[in-house]
């Protein structure tokens, strides 16, 4: 039986990963300080799974858990949360990643870093492939996260080269699904909550900026395949290449929720990317992975979750 440490395991994506690795026979150690994670996301595992262990801890402190695999998903990932304390966010990406790398090195464990499409910034290349080095503002209000993830990638590759560690990097594009926070400031949860409340749907800019939305089960499948893939470091993009404007997404959410909420336009935030779409050619070739859940079906499941969780 293998042991996996999932830092940020009580979060949106992390909790789904805990379930997946348990289903694959792993003993799972979920490490989380509940900064944006929630025990509600893992309560069913705590009550029923003997191979599941929750450790309340911050990765800003050194950890010592004997393991075979370390997944680093511990970082606030939505603008309201990572901008709330930007120094904490930057420290989480650098110091926290270093602590997890040191633990993985001690136990000769494989290490996987959850990086982000934000390393590409407001891209001048479209769609974005892994060789694109990005267009990132190093001193903007988003840079604590954008540059934090870039330095986390640097650390991960330096441990790989300097110590010969088995490391991996994934770059996650917009992901949505059950267990998203209702107040996380991401566009899918914003639109759904506003539509269900009958409030205006907030669109920043003219609504023609684009994003690509990957359902969480598809992402988890890609992460799992990457985690067990030998001799492949990455980085590799994981996301859905189907592109939507914010107007299109808002219209679809209104249709699925049967809401009559109007659209409300606000100025575009600083350094907000105009277009975002992954080139997943490498993931398709190296991992045999492509997303399978249509956005409309994923949104239906996510809306049902929000209806039951917050409006039931």
On whether the CB atoms of residues 238 and 279 are closer than 8 A, the answer is: no
Catalytic residue, candidates 29, 82, 120, 145 = 145
Q: How many domains does the chain have?
A: 1
For residue range 172-181, what is the model confidence (pLDDT) as tens digits?
999 999 999 8
Q: Is residue 38 part of a domain?
A: yes
User: pTM for the full model?
Assistant: 0.94
Q: Is residue 248 part of a domain?
A: no
Q: Is residue 74 part of a domain?
A: yes
**For the chain, percent of residues with pLDDT exceeding 90:** 85
Range of the domain at 147: 3-179+214-241+277-292
Q: What is the pLDDT of the chain when averaged over all its residues?
A: 94
Residue 100 pLDDT:
98
Q: Is residue 88 part of a domain?
A: yes
Residue 284 pLDDT:
98
- Mean pLDDT within 196-223: 93
Q: Is residue 34 part of a domain?
A: yes
Q: Is residue 305 part of a domain?
A: no
Residue 271 pLDDT:
63
Q: Is the torsion defined by CA of 200, 204, 209, 213 positive or negative?
A: negative
Q: Is residue 265 part of a domain?
A: no
For residue range 37-81, what is the model confidence (pLDDT) as tens digits?
999 999 999 999 999 999 999 999 999 999 999 999 999 888 888
For residue range 72-87, what is the model confidence (pLDDT) as tens digits?
999 988 888 889 999 9
For residue range 112-156, what is the model confidence (pLDDT) as tens digits?
999 999 999 988 998 999 999 989 999 999 999 999 999 999 999
Q: What are phi and psi of 188, to 5 degrees?
A: -65, -50
300 or 274: which carries more pLDDT confidence? Answer: 300
**For the chain, percent of residues with pLDDT exceeding 70:** 99
Residue 185 pLDDT:
79
- For the cut 80, the answer to whether the pLDDT of residue 306 exceeds it is yes
Question: 230, exposed or middle or buried, with CB in 10 Å at 0-12, 13-18, 19+?
Answer: exposed
305 catalytic? Reply is no
Helices (H), the chain: 12-23, 43-48, 79-84, 86-91, 97-106, 143-163, 187-197, 216-228, 246-257, 281-287, 295-310
Residue 311 pLDDT:
79
Query: Measured between alpha carbons, how far is 243 from 190 in angstroms, rounded to an integer?
Result: 18
- For the cut 70, the answer to whether the pLDDT of residue 221 exceeds it is yes
Structure tokens at 185: 């400031």
Q: Is residue 161 part of a domain?
A: yes
CATH number for the domain that contains residue 67: 3.40.50.720
Q: Which helix (H) or strand (E) holds 215?
A: strand 214-215
- For the cut 80, the answer to whether the pLDDT of residue 268 exceeds it is no
Taking each continuous run of H as one helix and of E as one strand, the counts in the chain are 11, 13
């Amino acid at each position: 039986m293998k042991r996996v440490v999932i830092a940020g395991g009580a979060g949106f994506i992390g909790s789904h990963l805990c379930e997946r690795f348990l289903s694959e026979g792993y003993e799972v150690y979920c490490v989380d300080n509940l900064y944006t994670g929630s025990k509600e996301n893992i309560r069913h595992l705590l009550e029923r799974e003997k191979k599941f262990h929750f450790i309340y801890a911050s990765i800003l402190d050194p950890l010592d858990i004997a393991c075979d695999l370390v997944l680093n998903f511990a970082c606030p990932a939505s603008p309201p949360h990572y901008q709330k304390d930007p120094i904490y966010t930057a420290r989480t990406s650098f110091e926290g990643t270093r602590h997890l790398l040191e633990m993985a090195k001690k136990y000769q464990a494989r290490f996987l870093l959850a990086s982000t499409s934000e390393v590409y910034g407001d891209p001048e290349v479209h769609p974005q492939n892994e060789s694109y080095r990005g267009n990132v503002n190093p001193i903007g209000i988003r840079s604590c996260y954008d540059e934090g993830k870039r330095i986390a990638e640097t650390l991960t590759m330096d441990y790989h080269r300097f110590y010969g560690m088995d490391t991996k990097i994934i770059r996650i594009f917009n992901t949505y699904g059950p267990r998203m926070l209702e107040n996380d400031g991401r566009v899918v949860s914003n639109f759904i909550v506003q539509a269900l409340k009958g409030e205006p749907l907030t669109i920043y800019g003219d609504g023609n900026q684009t994003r690509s939305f990957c359902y969480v089960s598809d992402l988890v499948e890609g992460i799992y395949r990457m985690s067990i893939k030998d001799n492949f470091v990455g980085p590799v993009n994981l996301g859905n290449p189907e592109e939507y404007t914010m107007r299109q997404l808002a219209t679809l959410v209104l249709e699925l929720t049967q809401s009559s909420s109007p659209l409300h336009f606000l100025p575009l935030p600083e350094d907000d990317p105009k277009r975002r779409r992954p080139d997943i050619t490498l993931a398709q070739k190296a991992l045999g992975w492509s997303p399978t859940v249509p956005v409309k079906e994923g949104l239906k499941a996510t809306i049902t979750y929000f209806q039951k969780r917050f409006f039931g």
